[in-house]
Amino acid sequence: MKKDLLSIADLNRKEIEHLIEQARRMKQEGASSLLSGRTLALLFEKPSLRTRVSFEMAMYQLGGHSIYLSPEEVGLGKREPAADIARVLSRYVDGIAARTFSQETLRILAGHSSVPIINALSDLEHPCEALSDLLTIYEKKGRLPGLTLAFIGDGNNVANSLLLSACLAGMNFHFAAPPGYEIKAEVLNQGKKFAALSGSQILLTTDPHEAAKGADIIYTDVWVSMGQEAEANKRRLAFSGYQVDNKLLSLAKGDVLFMHPLPAHHGEEISAGLLNDPRSVVFDQAENRLHLQKALLVKLLPNPKVSDK
């Protein structure tokens, strides 16, 4: 049966650990032919740098092919219903990575596709980002269980996926945001269930200093995401006390990692120059999108004619 990745919750702890190990091995080995003859459709409603390039290069390095489908070409849900697009693409390709405005669009695609659907970003989650972030943390810290990740900022798609992945992996998750910008209740409830099994602790606060205290990783993201431009001024005002800077990082552990999924708005969610700070692993994060997605693609789009090691 096909397996989709719409949410981090579609994976269990062992699967996440296996993906990280596979990604580390593939990072060392480089190119292969594991997906020779396989084709991935990149069905995008939103523009992208890292997501598009990392998926295209992942397929290329695995001996497969990718086809980029822009919003203008497809008109997902506008020129043609998502259900029909899923049925048609299933006849042509071996998998679909969809970058959509709505999680519901992904559910429709998955419900009508006979090939795997990968969430390449939606309004609710960004699982590929969170998984590659765990890979980066593991590379730098040598472990995941027991570490504390503090997310400072909006309860957006990245925060949602990080909460779920951290709780599955046995990491503590601290979250600081102003009132009205919290983690979605459905995601928080799922995270609490994972935490009860793994021993993770979840801290929710409006005080970024409380969240950052003693953290192993400080993580932030933009205050205004794509599609929220009309709220830009309101959001900048609400988050004005949530910038990650040297003062906030000094509250964390001495070997703290600073992380950001990019693109970054210098002078807003981060202080100027922070991406170049020795504690920053932001560009390692960006690179690891490629390696983790290679492991994910081999898991979801295996070629039975080509055996893995």
50 three-class SS: helix
User: Domain segments of the chain: what residues?
Assistant: 8-126+289-300, 129-286
Domains 8-126+289-300 and 129-286 agree in fold: yes
Q: Six-digit token pair at 168?
A: 């599955």
Q: Which residues contact 308 (CB under 8 A, 6 or more apart)?
A: 34, 298, 302
- H/E/C letters for each residue in 175-244? EECCCCCCCCHHHHHHHHHHHHHHCCCEEEECCHHHHHCCCCEEEECCCCCCCCHHHHHHHHHHCCCCCE
pLDDT at 155: 97
Q: What is the pLDDT of residue 188?
A: 98
CATH class of 8-126+289-300: alpha beta
Residue 243: both structure tokens together: 């910038």
The SS3 call for residue 281 is coil
| Closest by CA position to 7, among listed 135, 77, 107 | 107
How do the pLDDT tens digits run along the chain, 309 residues long? 789 999 999 999 999 999 999 999 999 999 999 999 999 999 999 989 999 999 999 999 999 999 999 988 888 888 899 999 999 999 999 999 999 999 999 999 999 999 999 999 999 999 999 999 999 999 999 999 999 999 999 999 999 999 999 999 999 999 999 999 999 999 999 999 999 999 999 999 999 999 999 999 999 999 988 777 888 899 999 999 999 999 999 999 999 999 999 999 999 999 999 999 999 999 999 999 999 999 999 999 987 777 555
Fold of 129-286: Rossmann fold (3.40.50)
Cα–Cα dist 169/194, whole Å: 9
Contacts of residue 60, Cβ cutoff 8 Å, sequence gap at least 6: 66
pTM of structure: 0.96
Residues 6 or more apart whose CB falls under 8 angstroms from that of 275 comprise 260, 264, 266, 282, 283
